[in-house]
Structure 1
Amino acid sequence: MIPAAPPHFRSGFVALIGRPNVGKSTLMNQLIGQKVAITSAVAQTTRNRLRGILTREDAQIIFVDTPGIHKPHHSLGEVLVKNAIAAINAVDLVVFVTDGSVPCGKGDRFIEDILAHSKTPVILGVNKIDLAPEDPSKRAAVEQSYRNVAAAHQWPYQAFSALAGDGSESLLSALVQTLPEGPYYYPPDLITDQPERFIMGELIREQILELTREEVPHSVAITIERVEEDAKITRILATVHVERPSQKAILIGKSGAMMKEIGSQARQQIQKLIVGKVYLELFVKVQPKWRESNLRLAEFGYRVEAT
């Protein structure tokens, strides 16, 4: 049930926009207080516009975690970038997330130009302040490079560490103050609008990102083939799709050791999601050049999203 909002209640949709690997998913998880999006040191982890929901006494904020905006090298990349840019004009507010451990660069300038031509309000969010240069002059130069961007467009400036949580309350206050008065869009106890199967697939993909390197991470897609539940256990059958036989070999590992480790770690995470015992069975299937196939992209859930 969605209750009626009290007087002066604020609500709206907030897109987290930025380059790959600046910490958008980590920030959303930090602000919501629970893990909704997968995170990884590998760039371009987020592939879908994932919504996370924070409900407070005075506000409901629906965060839209978008893929990092980058120069695409295949059809999948083109879809991801189009979806990220489309989100800008489909929300009430944008947090332009940047990496405060390095100065503002070309990738940030590209996104700055996109946002400058949008009518959506923007808050400049400088993440990773805990990783800023120790040298005072270098630290000041990095900070000033972002303050110059904020000043040029009169965007509010917020600095924080999404990982440690420093500055997150100040950012939340700025978001609530900027959003319009509005209703509850979702039930107050909901933290995401994504179906359970989608989250299961993402938790499996997260472990692949964490446990494999080389050529594998960006070539992986997950489909949940079957979920069977009874009183004692949930049985999940999932397929891991890769582009080349060599990637399949890496995922399986010697005597199946890598796949067993991926399955074990993913199962533990899924058990937290559904609160109960899980039996997870994984298969690996080679789908040559799936990232270039519009049919495969659609089959795996990667479509250009409507605004």
Structure 2
Amino acid sequence: MGDNGDQNSRPFRSGFVCFVGRPNAGKSTLTNAMVGEKIAITSNRPQTTRHAIRGIVHRDHGQLVLVDTPGLHRPRTLLGQRLNDVVRSTWAEVDIIGVCIPANEDIGPGDRFIAREVAAIARTPKVAVVTKTDLIGADRLAQRLAAVAKLGEETGIEWAEVVPVSATTNDRVELLTGLLLDQLPEGPPLYPDGELTDEPEETLVAELVREAALEGVRDELPHSIAVVVEEMIPREDRPDDRPLLDVHVNLYVERDSQKAIVIGRKGARLREVGTRARTQIERLLGTPVYLDLHVKVAKDWQRDPKQLGRLGF
């Protein structure tokens, strides 16, 4: 009886948490682990995330809205500048900032740059999240945690918490969830129970295609790929027990040479991308899919304001 009384008297908390960090710090993998479903694409390529993606974590005593942002970086294109703008505008609107620092790498200039930027945001609690702990041993982890504490001292951040986690093994992910919830203000749920993201289905589908296209490509290509879902329509004249969704997608690259890379010899690579993406899309939407992919050239789109607008940036 006593336990139930304590549970019922516990205030419900809700709010927004933004994960920031340099590219490839494990932000998207952590977001997916906390939500319990894949809502953000992941890749070992920097700048995989291109807009703020919201994942919703439901608990009996609170609701955590995770905002996964692009990695803050030194921009070389107009796209890069706009991605950084997305990060900074998100910081200003959240209740907690989680700074992700990978455990398997030394703290570098990028981490210090982000810490200094975050330190300038007054009154917002900051939590240090030391990611990828499964890649190192206990001794090195202890050193990393000490380095993160020192980083806070050097930049004027008083960490509300320092939490080591591994999103791939789920180690301490639930602990982090609880600690973040405890930092949130009291308030009602912000989203209906069971909703995991507010991203439109077309956006999620486009991201899954881009993730599949990023697999195994050359170093110069990832930043040059943009994906737009042109149409998602149920196939007509299909019986109710055998539905089929036609999904028409355009992949944009910046040069003809990149188009050849994406398509591959006799179209082999594009077929692989389609097979990989279709599996993920069918799992997401819960229905069989016919995926129609086309590769087009939009010359230097990362630097062209008009083309960036057409591609959704």
Given candidates 280, 301, 305, the residue that maps to 1:290 is: 301
Amino acid at match of 1:86: S
In the alignment, is the contact (CA less than 8 A) between 1:103 and 1:141 conserved in 2? no
Task: Give the secondary-structure state (helix, strand or coil) at the position aligned to 2:215.
Answer: helix
In the alignment, is the contact (CA less than 8 A) between 2:40 and 2:53 conserved in 1? yes
What is the match of residue 124 of structure 1? 128
In 1, Cα distance between equivalents of 2:9 and 2:282: 36
Given candidates 104, 121, 129, the residue that maps to 1:101 is: 104
In 1, Cα distance between equivalents of 2:28 and 2:307: 25
In 2, Cα distance between equivalents of 1:139 and 1:164: 16
Given candidates 255, 258, 270, the residue that maps to 2:281 is: 270
Matches within 5 A, 1:1-307: 8-119=11-122, 120-132=124-136, 134=137, 136=139, 138-150=140-152, 153-155=157-159, 156-230=161-235, 231=240, 232-302=243-313
In 2, Cα distance between equivalents of 1:173 and 1:108: 25
What is the match of residue 4 of structure 2? none
Does the C-alpha gap of structure 1 residues 163 and 135 become closer, same or farther in structure 2, counting only changes over 3 Å? closer
Provide, for residues 159-193 of structure 1, a one-character-per-residue CA deviation record: whole Å limited to 9, x for no partner. Answer: 11122111112111110110011111111111000
In 2, Cα distance between equivalents of 1:131 and 1:267: 31
In the alignment, is the contact (CA less than 8 A) between 1:15 and 1:93 conserved in 2? yes
1:226 offset after TM fit, Å? Answer: 1.0
Q: Normalization by structure 1: what TM-score?
A: 0.93
In 2, Cα distance between equivalents of 1:63 and 1:149: 24
In the alignment, is the contact (CA less than 8 A) between 1:25 and 1:65 conserved in 2? yes
In 2, Cα distance between equivalents of 1:142 and 1:275: 42
In 1, Cα distance between equivalents of 2:120 and 2:148: 18
Provide, for residues 216-269 of structure 1, a one-character-per-residue CA deviation record: whole Å limited to 9, x for no partner. Answer: 211000111111114410001110000000000011111110111101111111
In 2, Cα distance between equivalents of 1:28 and 1:139: 21
Amino acid at match of 1:254: R
Unaligned runs of 5+ in 2: 1-7
Provide, for residues 117-166 of structure 1, a one-character-per-residue CA deviation record: whole Å limited to 9, x for no partner. Answer: 1021110111111112x493x55433321122245522121111122111
Amino acid at match of 2:209: I
What is the match of residue 305 of structure 1? none
What is the match of residue 5 of structure 2? none
In 2, Cα distance between equivalents of 1:139 and 1:60: 30
1:215 offset after TM fit, Å? Answer: 2.4
In 1, Cα distance between equivalents of 2:298 and 2:9: 51
1:83 offset after TM fit, Å? Answer: 0.9
Q: Normalization by structure 2: what TM-score?
A: 0.91
- Percent of matched pairs sharing the same residue: 40
Unaligned runs of 5+ in 1: 303-307
Amino acid at match of 2:26: G
In the alignment, is the contact (CA less than 8 A) between 2:126 and 2:158 conserved in 1? no
Task: Give the secondary-structure state (helix, strand or coil) at the position aligned to 1:247.
Answer: helix
Amino acid at match of 1:195: P
In 2, Cα distance between equivalents of 1:123 and 1:139: 17
Question: Number of residues paired by the alignment?
Answer: 296
1:85 offset after TM fit, Å? Answer: 1.5
In 2, Cα distance between equivalents of 1:296 and 1:182: 41
Does the C-alpha gap of structure 1 residues 111 and 102 become closer, same or farther in structure 2, counting only changes over 3 Å? same
CA RMSD of aligned residues (A): 1.6
In 1, Cα distance between equivalents of 2:194 and 2:13: 17
Does the C-alpha gap of structure 1 residues 63 and 6 become closer, same or farther in structure 2, counting only changes over 3 Å? farther
In 2, Cα distance between equivalents of 1:157 and 1:185: 27
